[in-house]
Amino acid sequence: MARVGVFVCFCGANIADYVDVPQVVEEVKRIREVKFATEYKYMCSDPGQGMIRDAIVQHKLTSIVVAACSPRMHEKTFRKALSDAGMNPYLLEVANIREHSSWVHQKDKKAATSKAMDLCRMAVAKSIANEQLHEISVPVTKRALVIGGGIAGIQAALDIADARIPVVLVERSPSIGGKMAQLDETFPTLDCAQCILTPKMVDVASHPYIELIPYSEVIELQGFVGNYKVKIRKKASYVNFKTCTGCGACWQKCPVKVPNEYNMGIDKRKAIYTPFPQAVPNKPVIDAEHCTMLLKGKCGICAKVCEKGSIDYTMQDEIIEREIGAVVVATGYDMWDPAPYEEYGVGRFKDIITSLEFERMVSANGPTNGVPVRPSDGKVPKNVVFIKCVGSRDEAKGIEYCSKICCMYTTKHTILLHHKVHDSHAYVFYMDIRAAGKGYEEFVKKAQVDTGTTYLRGRVSKIYRKGDKLMVRGEDAQIGQVVEVEADLVVLATAVSAPKDNPELARMLGISYDKYGYLSEAHPKLRPVETAKAGIFLAGCTQAPKDIPETVSQASACAAKVCGLFAGDTMKKDPMVSTISNEYCSGCQNCVKVCPYGAIVTDEVPIGYGSKELRTVAKINEGVCQGCGSCVAICRSTAITLAGFTDPQIINEIVSI
């Protein structure tokens, strides 16, 4: 017969003030299987745990019930106490008499006590049906996948690879670098973004532990932590990267002109192109949507001028498969489209541009050689109005959240404007200046003094044309009046938004995302880089808007997590998983359908001992199983058992009150 030990905790006064603990102990002692019951002020303390260890040995206990706080709080602590006494840790049950009784029935001690008794009875009944469980060892494939080659993906890949763990870095566009490669200078130090980023890009390309797969997308992820299989679709580049030297003869001669994405469409690129001069890998790809050779079969100039014969118009998409153990998702962000701001004349007035367009203009390698110009007439603007929070913090038209980086980059833009056009004047319409960060407030203050920018606190209500100027009408809340500013150029600090493909990606990876499309972390404070799915981590803006230092920190944190995961040859896994009994399984395969992880497959077994005839049964991969129990409830023949939450355990709880 089972010999159960019950330990009731006072939790200082937290339980003892509202539950009559000695009475609970007396009541519990009346249960036949309970051979030992006691109380203590703090069960979780070292002496408390010592009592458990001693009692296990002294009273030859076969299972333990601790009536204390929530099992979500101290289950691990008490399991360890059991282990230390040489007992299987899964023979523990926790009765939650604090969160579920003493704290919520503070006005009725009698009822709280009687409920605590019931909770103890239930835990005792459950513990009688507890079985010894052992942690599962799962082998680990020590290779990481990084999705996205922006600064987050680059940093994560480099940090992981520096620990001598192979990394597969998948980037959707022809070059890594991401949004940071489009920036001119970075706040608050005005470092040239290219100067600090491109060495890292080169490191990625030359690192012996990094396999860079550009111009590719992840299309399928199967498996479980430590044992994922990923399918990557490598888009046809129509250029043989092995022989291409990157000389550039092809794109110089290509006759087809296409708006240049890297420069936000301000100038043109060719149909065969490298996104920007410092691209990594520095090999051109053919844009199949615009190449006349691929569309109509006419042209073929690039193939003619290529001395290496690297152009191959027959190239097809290729599926690459890799075995990996962990995933870092770093898909970055999109710039929010300001089209809903019709009163600003977005789309109607050419001289209204977004911040990233302005950034490209003032960039030394940009389409206008680093000088901002008016898109309408090419003149250098003198009066420039910056409007902040376009899309951000606007429930009506945009998104509720603060995009976090706009205050800082707008400040940077006022400085860059001042540097490039000395006699210019900047006006900034703002709601608040949020400059929380190391050196940020100082940066804003200094910029305001140095550039003489006019800051106007208020929202812009309308922009209209007057001659070749734009009139910006808004409120200056500090003087309580409507103001009008004559502008040559208006720059909208558009919001950061989640990549539009994130929901699709999240479904493919089996992780969750929030209402904006940002991928969800496992815990907002204490597990900010993990997802709820083991072995998948998040870096950068794909989780929420953040600036470069934060992105890099998070990427390095991801790398640390991946290295931790790969520290041993095997991984320990919670043993609370399902198992199927072949004897009972009828082979209906309902469980296969409901399993969210694809952990259940079918198997063939002989219909009887020594028989050659086979029948179908279901088989669970315990490495993949996460222990939800969907299969247990759907099984008609009760062939499936979920360790830790078996039918006898739960039914015992139900009938024991």
Residues at the contact surface with other proteins, assessed by CB under 8 A? 70-73, 96, 98-101, 103-108, 111-112, 114-115, 118-119, 122, 510, 512, 532, 576, 594, 596-597, 626-630, 632-634, 642, 645, 647, 650-651, 653-657
* Residue 250: alpha-carbon gap to chain centroid: 39
Classify residue 270 as left (phi > 0), alpha (psi -120 to 50) or beta.
beta
> Who's near 333: CB < 8 A, 6+ residues apart?
179, 496, 497, 498, 499, 540, 541, 542, 545
Dihedrals phi, psi of 254, to nearest 5 degrees: -60, 130
Give me the least distance between CB of 121 and other proteins, in Å please. Answer: 9
Give me the least distance between CB of 87 and other proteins, in Å please. Answer: 21
Q: 339 or 655: whose CB is closer to other proteins?
A: 655
Q: 141 or 656: whose CB is closer to other proteins?
A: 656
Give me the least distance between CB of 230 and other proteins, in Å please. Answer: 19
Q: 570 or 638: whose CB is closer to other proteins?
A: 638
The number of beta carbons lying within 10 Å of the beta carbon of residue 350 is: 13
Q: 621 or 656: whose CB is closer to other proteins?
A: 656
Give me the least distance between CB of 622 and other proteins, in Å please. Answer: 15
Q: 301 or 576: whose CB is closer to other proteins?
A: 576
The number of beta carbons lying within 10 Å of the beta carbon of residue 433 is: 18
Give me the least distance between CB of 96 and other proteins, in Å please. Answer: 7
3 state SS of 51: helix
Angle value at C-alpha 108, between 105 and 110, nearest 5 degrees = 115
Q: Are 591 and 636 in contact (CB under 8 A)?
A: no
Structure tokens at 415: 């400085």
Structure tokens at 433: 């200046």
- Cα distances from 66 to residues 9, 76, 82, 390, 620, in angstroms, run 8, 12, 11, 55, 32
Q: 111 or 567: whose CB is closer to other proteins?
A: 111
Give me the least distance between CB of 42 and other proteins, in Å please. Answer: 18
The number of beta carbons lying within 10 Å of the beta carbon of residue 317 is: 11
Give me the least distance between CB of 112 and other proteins, in Å please. Answer: 6
Q: 516 or 597: whose CB is closer to other proteins?
A: 597
Give me the least distance between CB of 122 and other proteins, in Å please. Answer: 7
What amino acid occupies position 323? E
Q: How far apart are the first and last CA of the chain?
A: 20
Give me the least distance between CB of 69 and other proteins, in Å please. Answer: 9
Relative to beta strand 285-286, strand 144-147 is unpaired
Give me the least distance between CB of 470 and other proteins, in Å please. Answer: 44
Burial classification of residue 313, based on how many CB atoms lie within 10 Å of its CB (0-12 exposed, 13-18 middle, 19 or more buried): middle
Question: Of 392, 375, 437, nearest to 412 (Cα)?
Answer: 437
Q: Order of strands, edge to edge, in the sheet holding 489-494?
A: 352-354, 489-494, 383-390, 425-430, 454-457
Relative to beta strand 352-354, strand 489-494 is parallel
CA distance 357 to 368: 11
Give me the least distance between CB of 638 and other proteins, in Å please. Answer: 9
Give me the least distance between CB of 504 and other proteins, in Å please. Answer: 15
Q: 107 or 298: whose CB is closer to other proteins?
A: 107
Give me the least distance between CB of 73 and other proteins, in Å please. Answer: 8
The number of beta carbons lying within 10 Å of the beta carbon of residue 289 is: 9
Question: Of 49, 15, 47, nearest to 120 (Cα)?
Answer: 15
Dihedral sign, Cα of residue 137, residue 140, residue 146, residue 147: negative
Q: 20 or 267: whose CB is closer to other proteins?
A: 20
Q: 320 or 576: whose CB is closer to other proteins?
A: 576
Q: 101 or 274: whose CB is closer to other proteins?
A: 101
Helix (H) or strand (E) holding 28: helix 21-29
Q: 101 or 453: whose CB is closer to other proteins?
A: 101
Q: 100 or 459: whose CB is closer to other proteins?
A: 100
Question: Of 218, 235, 216, nearest to 288 (Cα)?
Answer: 235
- Cα distances from 649 to residues 94, 131, 161, 642, in angstroms, run 13, 10, 46, 10
Give me the least distance between CB of 279 and other proteins, in Å please. Answer: 38
Tell me: cis bond preceding 524? Omega within 30 of 0 counts: no
DSSP 180: G
Q: 136 or 650: whose CB is closer to other proteins?
A: 650
Structure tokens at 385: 């109005």
